[in-house]
Structure 1
């Protein structure tokens, strides 16, 4: 099993589990990898945090995980600097619980929004503008929009929140 740190073009970081490097490359080539936050298909490996082995009877040992691909923005960073700047201790059980609680709240909120919002499909950008300008009744809507349309809406002052396309069910 190969666990990789992944990042989309919008900077969202997430983890991917693959049976092998070939499995990752195959899924990437077939555009099967998407960001769980914004549904972007532009997903790449990111620099991985080092593995931190914690033993109560030993000193903490830091071993960096192998990084086989660098993005252009990280190409100029010396490997020693990359390891030193990204060295982190694993989150405590309390921090993990707090993160899990926040994640559960986000999922519950997302499900509630999607359950009460009207699906306007590919007309999302136009309908959001109409609502914002008072030309359509104010209500919760969801649908599909390109990243360019989302950026335009935000620049126009229309409040929108990108969600994964498959966010209706199941939201993990």
Structure 2
């Protein structure tokens, strides 16, 4: 996992996680990276300082940072499973119905194609892809 500081064409700054450095380029090129403040899909990487290891980090994280990341990802998956409703392949229609007021808003997750995701972004429906390590086990990926 890699975290990038991002900035949109309206100068809104935000952060996002990606599976690897190439994922940002692919997702941004497809218009799937969206500013959470204004919805712009014209997003670029902002200048970032590198993460520096300090003595304040736990011994466990120093010994095995991969294990520490897996534990964090597990906690996030658990939180999503407990607090969000899984809507499967109906994600795009559910998100659109909540955005238009046809259904009450609630936290959801599910699957959508890249085309549907781009259409949601174009229509101003707020949503973002979950990085793979955070996807709960009951969710599957569409190709």
Q: Place the TM-score, normalised by the shorter chain, in its bin.
A: 0.3 to 0.5
Structure whose CA Rg is larger: 1
TM-score using structure 1 length: 0.38
**Highest relative contact order (Cα 8 Å, sep 6+), 1 or 2?**
2
TM-score using structure 2 length: 0.45
